[in-house]
Amino acid sequence: MARVLAELGCEVCISDDVARKVLEMPEVCAAIIARAGSSVALSGGAIDRSALARAMFSDRTLRADIEAIMHPRIEALRRAQFAAAPASSPAFVIDAPLLFEVGLDRECAAVIFVDTPRELRLSRVGESRGWDDAELARREASQLALEEKRRRSSDVVENHGDRARLNAEVARVFEAILSRCADVPRAQRT
Question: What pLDDT, on the 0 to 100 scale, is given for residue 45?
Answer: 87
Question: What pLDDT, on the 0 to 100 scale, is given for residue 190?
Answer: 58
pLDDT one-digit tens code per residue, 47-94 = 999 899 889 988 989 999 999 999 999 999 999 999 999 999 999 999
How far is Cα 129 from Cα 124, in angstroms, rounded to an integer? 8
More confident residue, 150 or 186: 150
How far is Cα 30 from Cα 5, in angstroms, rounded to an integer? 36
| Length of the chain counted residue by residue | 190
Q: Which domain holds residue 72?
A: 2-188
Looking up residue 180, the CATH number of its domain turns out to be 3.40.50.300
134-143: which pairs have CB atoms within 8 A and are 24 or more residues apart? 138/57, 139/57, 142/57, 142/63, 143/97, 143/98, 143/101
Spatial contact of 40 and 55, defined as CB atoms under 8 Å apart: yes
pTM of the model: 0.85
Question: What pLDDT, on the 0 to 100 scale, is given for residue 54?
Answer: 87
pLDDT one-digit tens code per residue, 15-57 = 999 999 999 999 999 999 999 999 999 988 899 998 998 899 8
- pLDDT of residue 181 exceeding 90, the answer is no
Look at the alpha carbons of 88, 181, 185, 14 in this order and tell me if their dihedral is positive or negative.
Answer: negative
Rg (CA), the chain: 18
How far is Cα 97 from Cα 15, in angstroms, rounded to an integer? 8
CA–CA distances in Å: residue 79 to residues 67, 83, 114, 154, 157: 17, 6, 24, 23, 26
Domain count, the chain: 1
Task: Kindly report the average pLDDT of the chain as a whole number.
Answer: 91
- pLDDT of residue 188 exceeding 60, the answer is no
